[in-house]
């Protein structure tokens, strides 16, 4: 059952190129509902953890061929 669900998701993702989306969003002025402290924004800027290339860090295992997943 779970296998069937997975294959449906894969097919749907593969077909995304034919689905209309707003990839390039129209610019609009949006105000944040909440106040964010400068210290929190600064932590976001200067202490953000480096983003791994793979969501689960698979480059540690597979990276000898290419860390960023090029085939």
Partner 1 sequence: MSPGPRTSPAVSLVTSHGRQSLSWNGDERLIDLLNRHQVPWSALTVYVVPRSGGAPTIRPCLDQTAGDLQDAAELLLYFNRNVNPFLFSLTQAMTVASAEPERQATEYFYQRLDNASSTAESFLKKLSPDECRSVIAARVAETVREHLPANSHLVVGVSGGGDSNALLYALTQLKDHGLTLHPVIIKGIPDWDAGVPRAQELCRTYGLELTVMEELDVKELLGIPRDSASLIDRFQKEFEGDDFEFLGTLLVRLALFEKAQEMGTRFVCTGLNLEDVVTEAMFRVSTGLKPAPFPARVIGDMTLVMPLWLCPKRIIDGCFPKYSLENYDARYPCFSLGRNLYYSVVYTLQSQYPGFLEQMARGMSELSLKDPVTYSLDEQLGFHVERFVPFPLRRRFQRMVGRG
Shortest CB 1 distance to partner 1, Å: 26
Look up residue 52 and give its two tokens. 């791994």
End-to-end CA distance of the chain: 32
Q: What angle do CA 46, 33, 55 make, to 5 degrees?
A: 45
Binding mask 28-47 for partner 1 (x = CB under 8 A): xxxxx-xxx-xx-xx-xxx-
**Site string (4-23) toward partner 1, x via CB under 8 A:** ---------xx-xxxxxxxx
* DSSP H/E element including 9: helix 2-14
Give the binding site for partner 1 (CB under 8 A).
Answer: 13-14, 16-32, 34-36, 38-39, 41-42, 44-46, 48-52, 55
């Amino acid at each position: 059952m779970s296998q069937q669900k997975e294959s449906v998701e894969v097919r749907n993702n593969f077909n995304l190129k034919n689905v209309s989306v707003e990839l390039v969003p129209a610019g609009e002025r949006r105000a944040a509902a909440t106040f964010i402290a400068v210290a929190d924004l600064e932590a976001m800027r200067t202490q953000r953890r480096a983003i791994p290339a793979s969501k689960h860090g698979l480059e540690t295992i597979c990276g000898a061929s290419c860390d960023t997943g090029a085939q």
